[in-house]
Structure 1
C-alpha cells in the first residue's frame, strides 16, 4: 500500500510539474527561407527593427513568393509558413504571437532590390530631424547611406544644403542623380581635428554609435550578393576644388583633388567598414575607377572586377559594397573644399 501511495504521489507531482511549466514568451521569426532561384542576394532578418530584407528576381517580385518560416517554439504566425505573399500592394507584414499570448511582434518584409543591381538615384527621402537626404529604392527602402549622419552630429544647420551628400537635378538621365561635395568642417568638428567633410555615398549603413570613438568604423559597407559580378558600370562627372589641404588644413601646392568610385565583393555576412574595406583579406574582387581626375561632362565607366588569384566561390556567402567620394582621401579628412562629384546609373553586371 505504501508503495502504491508513493507512486501516486510521484505521478501527481509529475503532472503538477507539467501543468506548471511556463509557456514560451518568445515571438520571433528565426529563419525566413526563399528558394535560391528567386533571390538576387542573401535574405537578412533585422531582429532589432523587426524587418526581413529580401533581394528578389523580377519574376519573383511580380508573381509573389511562398517563404518557409521557423518561429519561436509553439508560437503562431500569420500569414502562415508556406503561404504565398505578394508585393503589388506594398510591404507585407507578418504577425507572430508567442505561446503565452502576451508577446506579439510584427515583422515587415522589405524587398531591397529587384533583378539586377541597377541604381538610378531617382528617389530620395529626408531625415525627419536633421533634414539630410538619402537615396531610396522605388518602394521606399533605404540601402544607401553616407557620412551625412556624422556631419549632423557636428552642428550643421538642419538644411539639405548644409550636408555634403544630396540629390541633384544635374544628372545624366532621368530627373535626379547623387551629388557629393567636399565641405568645410564646423567649429565643433575642429575641436577634434576635423576640418573638412568629403561627400560620400555607399551601400550599407552609418553606425552613429561608433562615430566619436572610431569615425572610420562608423561607415559600414555592404549588402548581401548572390552570384558573381562581371563589371561595374555607371556615369559620373567631377570638378576638383581649388586648393588641396591635408588633415591639418595645410594647403599642398600643386596637389589636385581626385574623386573615388569603386565596388568591392567580399566574403561573409558581416559588413566591412572604413578601416578595413581596402585591406581585409575577406575581399575577393574589386572594380575601381582608375581615373579620378576632373571630368567636365558626364563620362561613362565600364570596369571589370579583378578577382583574387586562386579564389573559389563555392558555398560562400558574399556581400557587395559600392563606395563613392568627392575626395579620394576624404576618409582621412584630406581634400579640396568645393570638390564636386555627381554619379548616376550605377550598375553591377553579373557574369
Structure 2
C-alpha cells in the first residue's frame, strides 16, 4: 500500500457524516445528473461550462469531501452547488479495515437502506479492486448467501452505484486510485442493468468520469439469459462472470433456486453467445461449500460441462455466515478439486480470501448492523 497506516491490526470505525440528512428534504446527488445536464445547470447560473470539468477533477482526483473544498471554483458557484446538490449520494455509515488491506464500507442511502462495498488492495501491487452492489438485498435466493436472506428491497439508482466508487476512491492515499471494478456485491447485477450501465459509463468516461478501461470491469450474474444477451449487445468490453456454484441441474436447483425457472443449459448457451458477440472470455464463479459441492464427482462434472468452452473457473472457498448451515471446504479438497477440473483442459484459479475478519463477504456486515443497530 502507499501508506503504512492502512495496514496492521484489524480496526473498525464509524465514518463521518457527509451532509446527507436521512428523512430531510433531499438535495439531488450531483452524479445523479448527466454531465450535459450539469453543464446546462452551471451555464444557466451565469458560469462557464468548463467549471464542470473543475468540479469533476475535485470529485474524482482531488478527493473533495464537500463543495467548499473546491477552492478554484468561484464561491458563488460553490454556494449554489451546496444549496441544490450533494456531492455524495450515500453516507459512509461504517468502515472496517482488515490487516490484509481490505476495506469494508457500509453506506447508508437517503431512505435509510444500507448497502455494502469492499475495496481490496495488495501491498505488492498497484491493483485496487472495488466490489460494488446494485440492489438493496437480493431476490435470487442463493441458499448460502447473506445478501438475499431478506430478499430484494429495491434497485439502486445509478447515482448510488457510482457513489460506491466515489466513496472508496476518497479513502485512498494521494497517488492511488480504484483500478478495477467487480460488480459482485449485493444484488443481481443484471436485474438492474440499465442503472448499472449508466453508472459504469461514467466510471469509464475519459471526459466526464474516472477514465477506467471497460476491460477492467467485471459484471457478475447468477445467469439471466435475456439480460446476458442484452449486455452483449451494448458494444461494451466488460467481462462477464456467471455464478455457477453447481455442475448439475439438480444441485443448482438446490443451491440457486432461480435455476428451476431458467435451467443450467440456458445459462451456458447465453454465456456462449456473450463470448461469440463480444470476444470476452467468460468466467464461471463457483463457491465451494464443504461437503456439499466440493466432492470429486462435482469437480469431474464441472470439467465435463466446461470442456471445450473458452472459459475460466474461479473457485471461491466459502466464508461462513452465522445462522447458515454451510462450512468452508478443507484445503486438501480445494487442491483436489482444482486438479480434477484442470484435467479436462479447463483453466482454474482459487480466489484468495481477504477480509474475513471484517465480514467482507457481501451482505454479512449489513445483516449484523441491522440486527444489532451497530456493527460493533
TM (norm. structure 1) is 0.25
Higher relative CO (CA 8 A, sep ≥ 6), structure 1 or 2?
A: 1
Question: Which is strand-richer, 1 or 2?
Answer: 1
Question: Which is helix-richer, 1 or 2?
Answer: 2
Find the structure with the greater CA-based Rg.
Answer: 1
